[in-house]
């Protein structure tokens, strides 16, 4: 049976783009997930923090913002959610340009491995998640035009928050303090080979040569993918990104 994909125009990271999701994914995976968050909020009788976790290259930001849009379009069925990203909790560019970490036995500037778990201010992220659950907070964002953090950019007082990121379930020092703050979590699995091509093509689209894009993948992205896939705690449910861009539920 041929899949039916639905097309949506939506803003992702400040840019309008056309995205596609299958009718099956929307009705059989995404909507049940949103119903579950609505029920969870009613049961807990407080703000709910959910995590959407995946390795680099899956398209977490787009998926999270689509789920927010879907919840608002179907507000007669489910409570609206607020999608947020953890990228605003990178250390600042100025800090990463002068601070080193160890990578493969050598000291390297944080800026050279930007996006790795070590380049995030985990303590600040924990503080902000706790504030968001309690009574609301101001949330940092990462501005892709200036490639830096903008602190306290969004006011967040929503009852259901969907936080997306690579490392929210990571079983490593510091990140375990993030993991325990989740009320519900989804992990999106994907083939490393499929993600490699997506990430390399993304870099090429951003102006890098194929050689430069592959070098960055081998030095940074590949290691981050491996850490997420091998060292993340089990989520409450797992989705899988397929080669055609569709999702199924494991």
Average pLDDT rounded to a whole number, residues 2-29 = 86
Q: Find all residues with CB under 8 Å of 239, minimum gap 6, and list them.
A: 29, 186, 187, 188, 189, 247, 248, 249, 250
**Considering the domain boundaries, does residue 109 fall inside one?**
no
**Considering the domain boundaries, does residue 188 fall inside one?**
yes
Q: What is the CATH number of the domain that holds 133?
A: 3.40.50.300
Range of the domain at 28: 5-90+122-249
**Considering the domain boundaries, does residue 99 fall inside one?**
no
Average pLDDT rounded to a whole number, residues 40-60 = 96
Rounded-to-integer distance, Cα 100 and Cα 102, Å: 7
Q: Report which of 127, 183, 129 is spatially closest to residue 156, judged by C-alpha positions.
A: 129
Rounded-to-integer distance, Cα 201 and Cα 225, Å: 16
**Considering the domain boundaries, does residue 69 fall inside one?**
yes
**Considering the domain boundaries, does residue 76 fall inside one?**
yes
Higher local confidence (pLDDT), 13 or 167: 167
* R_g of the chain computed on alpha carbons: 18
Tens digits of residue pLDDT in 165-208: 999 999 999 999 999 999 999 999 999 999 999 999 888 887 88
Tens digits of residue pLDDT in 139-175: 999 998 888 999 999 999 999 999 999 999 999 999 9
How many Å from the N-terminal Cα to the C-terminal Cα in the chain?
20
The DSSP code for 169 is: T
**Considering the domain boundaries, does residue 102 fall inside one?**
no
**Considering the domain boundaries, does residue 232 fall inside one?**
yes
Q: What is the mean pLDDT of the chain?
A: 93
Looking at residue 9, what is its pLDDT? 83
Looking at residue 44, what is its pLDDT? 94
How many distinct structural domains can be found in the chain?
A: 1
Q: What is the per-residue burial (b if ≥16 Cβ within 10 Å, else e) of 1-18?
A: eeeebeeeeeeeeeeeee
The dihedrals phi and psi of 142, each to the nearest 5 degrees, come to: -105, 120
**Considering the domain boundaries, does residue 96 fall inside one?**
no
> Is residue 200 a contact partner of residue 150, using CB atoms and an 8 Å limit?
no
Looking at residue 144, what is its pLDDT? 82
């Amino acid at each position: 049976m041929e899949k039916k994909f639905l097309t949506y125009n939506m803003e992702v990271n400040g840019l309008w783009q056309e995205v596609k999701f299958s009718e099956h994914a929307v009705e059989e995976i995404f909507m049940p997930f949103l119903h579950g968050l609505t029920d969870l909020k009613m049961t807990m009788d407080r703000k709910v923090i959910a995590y959407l976790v995946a390795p680099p290259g899956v398209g977490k930001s787009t998926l999270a913002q689509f789920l927010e849009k879907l919840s608002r379009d179907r507000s007669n069925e489910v409570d609206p959610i607020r999608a947020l990203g953890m990228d605003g909790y990178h250390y600042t560019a100025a800090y990463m340009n002068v601070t080193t970490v160890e990578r493969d036995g050598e000291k390297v500037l944080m800026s050279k491995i930007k996006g790795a778990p070590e380049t995030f201010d985990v303590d600040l992220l924990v503080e902000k998640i706790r504030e968001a659950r309690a009574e609301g907070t101001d949330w940092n964002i990462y501005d892709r035009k200036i490639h830096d953090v903008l602190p306290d950019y969004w006011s967040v007082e929503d009852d259901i928050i969907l936080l997306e990121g690579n490392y929210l379930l990571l079983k490593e020092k510091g990140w375990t303090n993030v993991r325990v703050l989740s009320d519900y979590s989804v992990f999106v699995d994907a083939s490393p080979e499929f993600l490699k091509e997506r990430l390399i093509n993304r870099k090429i689209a951003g102006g890098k040569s194929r050689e430069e894009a592959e070098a960055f993948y081998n030095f940074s992205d590949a290691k981050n993918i491996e850490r997420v896939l091998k060292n993340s705690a089990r989520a409450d449910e797992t989705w899988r990104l397929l080669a055609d861009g569709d999702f199924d539920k494991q």
